[in-house]
């Protein structure tokens, strides 16, 4: 194995430079001095100290042509088959082809979701592979596009290349690719504006070979990515003097004679690699320290107009490293890069291994969690990225877990968090200091869920959700059901389950049932009934008071009671959950009933000496998924003051719906 890899590495060096000159007109940095990963270590076994299988290792050289808005790249992949399946072909994602024509699956889905505006003529992108060599053999002419999800022949986001020599379980192969790419004006947080670049999902990238075959989905509008873990050794050549940030750590930086600088980064045990560069970035660094967690070097690349908010970015990132670290497990990389995106770049709020984009505004009051909410969310993704789920099929496993964790960390960090709105084109914020935003409802995004609660069965592969409501089922519903489970089991139990899941599935690819197994195991309960409702059905929860009366008896009962109170609790939604029904009497007594919530209704009759004044279903709001909480309670004496308060609250909920609609981020 060693011998063959070494031979191939030599062949690449011989073949690459001539072709690249042809493409970019300027030579890329020479790579002879840089050993391919195969020459320094075996890939048949994970290297000592490896946390992941490291079966997909990328060595990439890429040059940015700022004037032409293009990339020219070449890469060598050392791939090992860790499935039980023999590979007879290779499959690659070419994500930027999603924005090369209006009929790609991504563009079609975006139109279904309601976005009708046509991109600017200079917005389109492309990824054109010019050379493919497998084990040293040029197979370029045999590459073809496939569309495994929908058969869309206009979609070029998945490329297949046959293997003349199949690669059996634990077998390895070296693949070399050369390509050019047109950088988009931002689509899906990817691309350039002026001299600011966010270069993500930018290189030809292998799908994941599973025991049942390749898992290489087309690029979809509402879902993200999936890949195996490995080492990324990436050299990026950009104009001199520009600041660059990337996944991993910078290893070397060298100025070239042609006015460019080559930054070489290395990241280990990651499943993707992203980078950003700009002439305008300012840079700040701080260190996260904690008595029981490893140190993390935090690097912030920020826009000059946001210099007053530098510390807020660090505080939010540090809070994430602290709370997620204490609750789920330690952040394993020792470094993290926070990118404050350029104004109107459309690139804020997105996570990549060890690097993420946040997002703020020029004026951002301290009582509003901007930039904190997006910073905690994207920093938090780093933890659920360590657990490598399939984001095409089970996006809830990272976005949902992370929305829940974000809301919890924002509350634990006691960041001031009030309702706000913006005027004058979004420049001037106005904060409603009377309206604090709560973790349970706003943090878990209840309003967005309520509007589309039954739109999809969560266990459907995410890329097949209705694009217009996929976010609510992925993010909001999961956050609400996890918080409901926390209320039901208690935080210590749920925390132990989440940390067990994190430890067991780090650097692996868990399926939904793996998550449910851990929850059952740690809680000591069979929670299948709950997962059936929240995950394997599209049923909604809604409990309400159907009838409530308390009437004086014509004559006292044998026990001396003078009032008969009747409470009828009703299950209006298809889904069930155990709830409390609490009735309060004029003498101050409260009676709490525990209803399993399964029948359509439950009748309670009380004969007592006092008249009832109110009844309420789930007054502690354990069931956060209840889509209509306003029907959960009834009082017998209408009180003008309370009624107006209720209307005011309804108005606030409406306002919050509006805010949440605008507040949606990845
Ligand atoms: Zn997210």
Q: How far is the CA of 666 from the centre of ligand 1 (A)?
A: 4
Q: How far is the CA of 471 from the centre of ligand 1 (A)?
A: 10
The pair of structure tokens assigned to 331 is 């952040």
Q: How far is the CA of 377 from the centre of ligand 1 (A)?
A: 6
The pair of structure tokens assigned to 597 is 């919530």
CA distance 652 to 639: 20
Phi, psi (rounded to 5 degrees) for 200: -135, 150
How do residues 163-194 score in pLDDT, each as one tens digit? 999 999 999 999 999 999 999 998 989 999 99
Q: How far is the CA of 541 from the centre of ligand 1 (A)?
A: 25
Q: How far is the CA of 36 from the centre of ligand 1 (A)?
A: 34
| pLDDT surpassing 90 at residue 1 | no
The DSSP letter of residue 140 is G
Q: Which whole number is the average pLDDT over 371-383?
A: 95
Q: How far is the CA of 460 from the centre of ligand 1 (A)?
A: 19
CA angle 192, 194, 197 (to 5 degrees): 30
Q: How far is the CA of 631 from the centre of ligand 1 (A)?
A: 32
Among 21-35, 317-331, 339-353, 562-576, the range scoring the smallest mean pLDDT is 21-35
CA distance 220 to 152: 12
- Ligand 1 (ion): residues with CB under 5 Å are 399, 666
Q: How far is the CA of 399 from the centre of ligand 1 (A)?
A: 5
Q: How far is the CA of 601 from the centre of ligand 1 (A)?
A: 39
Q: How far is the CA of 479 from the centre of ligand 1 (A)?
A: 12
CA distance 591 to 588: 10
More confident residue, 362 or 475: 475
Asked if 376 contacts 401 with a C-beta cutoff of 8 angstroms, the reply is no
Instruction: Indicate the pLDDT class of residue 365, thresholds 50, 70 and 90.
Output: confident
Q: How far is the CA of 254 from the centre of ligand 1 (A)?
A: 35
| pLDDT surpassing 70 at residue 550 | yes
Report pLDDT for 557: 80
CA angle 333, 82, 229 (to 5 degrees): 20
Q: How far is the CA of 112 from the centre of ligand 1 (A)?
A: 22
pTM reported for the whole predicted model:
0.88
Q: Which residues contact 141 (CB under 8 A, 6 or more apart)?
A: none
Q: How far is the CA of 427 from the centre of ligand 1 (A)?
A: 25
Report pLDDT for 310: 96
Overall residue count recorded for the chain in this entry: 666
Instruction: Indicate the pLDDT class of residue 49, thresholds 50, 70 and 90.
Output: confident
Q: How far is the CA of 545 from the centre of ligand 1 (A)?
A: 37
Report pLDDT for 640: 55
DSSP 27-89: PPPP-TTS--HHHHS-SSSPPTT-SS---EEEEEEEEEETTTTEEEEEEEEEEE--SSSPEEE
Instruction: Measure Cα distances from 274 to 68, 154, 322 in Å.
Output: 20, 27, 24
CA distance 549 to 103: 60
| pLDDT surpassing 50 at residue 560 | yes
Q: How far is the CA of 470 from the centre of ligand 1 (A)?
A: 13
* 3-state secondary structure (DSSP) of residue 653: helix
Q: How far is the CA of 602 from the centre of ligand 1 (A)?
A: 40
Q: How far is the CA of 349 from the centre of ligand 1 (A)?
A: 7
CA distance 623 to 19: 62
Asked if 276 contacts 245 with a C-beta cutoff of 8 angstroms, the reply is yes
Q: How far is the CA of 172 from the centre of ligand 1 (A)?
A: 34
The DSSP letter of residue 322 is H
Q: Are strands 293-302 and 275-278 parallel, antiparallel or unpaired?
A: unpaired
Instruction: Identify the residue whose tokens are 């209705």.
Output: 466
| pLDDT surpassing 60 at residue 5 | no
The pair of structure tokens assigned to 84 is 């039980």
Q: How far is the CA of 403 from the centre of ligand 1 (A)?
A: 7
Q: How far is the CA of 378 from the centre of ligand 1 (A)?
A: 6
**What Rg value do the Cα atoms of the chain yield, rounded?**
28
Output the CA torsion 490→491→496→497 (10° steps): 70
Q: Which whole number is the average pLDDT over 294-321?
A: 97
CA distance 663 to 658: 9
Instruction: Identify the residue whose tokens are 């009759």.
Output: 605
Report pLDDT for 370: 84
Q: How far is the CA of 402 from the centre of ligand 1 (A)?
A: 7
| pLDDT surpassing 60 at residue 658 | no
Q: Which residues contact 2 (CB under 8 A, 6 or more apart)?
A: 38, 42
Asked if 199 contacts 275 with a C-beta cutoff of 8 angstroms, the reply is yes
């Amino acid at each position: 194995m060693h011998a063959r890899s070494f031979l191939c590495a030599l062949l690449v060096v011989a073949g690459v430079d001539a072709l690249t000159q042809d493409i970019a007109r300027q030579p890329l940095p020479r790579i002879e001095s840089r050993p391919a990963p195969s020459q320094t270590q075996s890939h048949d076994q994970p290297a000592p100290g490896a946390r992941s299988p490291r079966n997909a290792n990328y060595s990439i050289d890429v040059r940015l042509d700022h004037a032409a808005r293009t990339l020219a790249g070449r890469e060598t992949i050392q791939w090992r088959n860790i499935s039980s399946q023999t590979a007879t072909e290779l499959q690659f994602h070419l994500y930027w082809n999603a924005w090369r024509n209006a009929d790609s699956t991504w563009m079609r889905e975006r139109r279904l979701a309601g976005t009708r505006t046509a991109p600017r003529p200079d917005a389109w992108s492309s990824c054109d592979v010019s050379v493919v060599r497998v084990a040293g053999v040029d197979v370029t002419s045999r590459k073809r596009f496939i569309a495994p999800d929908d058969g869309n022949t206009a979609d070029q986001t998945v490329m297949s290349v046959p293997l003349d020599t199949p690669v059996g379980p634990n077998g390895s192969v070296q693949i070399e690719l050369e390509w050019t790419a047109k950088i988009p004006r931002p689509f899906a947080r990817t691309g350039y504006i002026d001299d600011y670049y966010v270069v993500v999902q930018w290189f030809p990238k292998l799908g994941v070979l599973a025991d049942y075959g390749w898992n290489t989905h087309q690029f979809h509008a509402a879902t993200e990515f999936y890949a195996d873990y490995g080492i990324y050794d990436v050299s990026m050549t950009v104009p001199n003097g520009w600041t660059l940030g990337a996944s991993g750590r910078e290893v070397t930086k060298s100025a070239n004679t042609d006015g460019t600088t080559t930054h070489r980064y290395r990241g280990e045990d990651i499943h993707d690699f992203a980078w950003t560069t700009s002439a305008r970035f300012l840079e700040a660094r701080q260190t996260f320290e904690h008595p029981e967690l490893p140190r993390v070097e935090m690097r912030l690349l920020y826009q000059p107009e946001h210099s007053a908010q530098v510390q807020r970015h660090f505080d939010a990132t540090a809070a994430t490293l602290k709370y997620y670290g204490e609750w789920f497990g330690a952040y394993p990389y020792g470094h993290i890069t926070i990118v404050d995106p350029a104004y109107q770049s459309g690139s804020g709020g997105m996570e990549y291994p060890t690097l993420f984009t946040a997002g703020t505004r020029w004026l951002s009051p301290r009582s509003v969690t901007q930039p904190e909410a997006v910073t905690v969310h994207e920093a938090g993704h780093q933890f659920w990225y360590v657990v490598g789920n399939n984001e095409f099929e089970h996006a809830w496993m990272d976005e949902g877990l992370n929305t829940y964790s974000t809301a919890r960390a924002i509350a634990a960090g006691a960041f001031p968090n009030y309702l706000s709105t913006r005027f004058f084109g979004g420049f001037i914020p106005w904060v409603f200091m009377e309206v604090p935003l709560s973790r349970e409802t706003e943090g878990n995004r209840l309003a967005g869920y309520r509007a589309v609660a039954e739109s999809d069965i969560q266990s459907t592969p995410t890329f097949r959700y209705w694009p217009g409501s996929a976010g609510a089922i992925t993010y909001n519903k999961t956050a609400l059901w996890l918080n409901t489970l926390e209320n039901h089991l208690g935080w210590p139990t749920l925390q132990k389950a989440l940390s067990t899941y994190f430890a067991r599935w780090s650097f692996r690819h868990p399926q939904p049932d793996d998550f449910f197994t851990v929850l059952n195991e740690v809680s000591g309960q069979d929670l299948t009934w709950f997962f059936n409702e929240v995950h394997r059905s599209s049923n909604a929860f809604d409990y309400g008071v159907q009838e409530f009366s308390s009437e004086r008896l014509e004559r006292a009962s044998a026990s001396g009671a003078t009032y008969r109170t009747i409470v009828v609790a009703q299950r209006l939604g298809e889904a069930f959950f155990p709830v409390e029904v609490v009735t309060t009497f004029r003498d101050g007594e409260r009676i709490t009933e525990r209803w399993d919530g399964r029948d359509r209704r439950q009748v309670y009759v009380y004969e007592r000496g006092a008249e009832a004044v109110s009844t309420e279903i789930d007054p502690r709001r354990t069931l956060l998924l209840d889509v209509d909480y306003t029907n959960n309670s009834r009082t017998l004496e209408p009180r003008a003051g309370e009624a107006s308060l209720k209307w005011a609250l309804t108005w606030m909920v409406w306002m919050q719906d509006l805010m949440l609609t605008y507040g949606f981020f990845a």
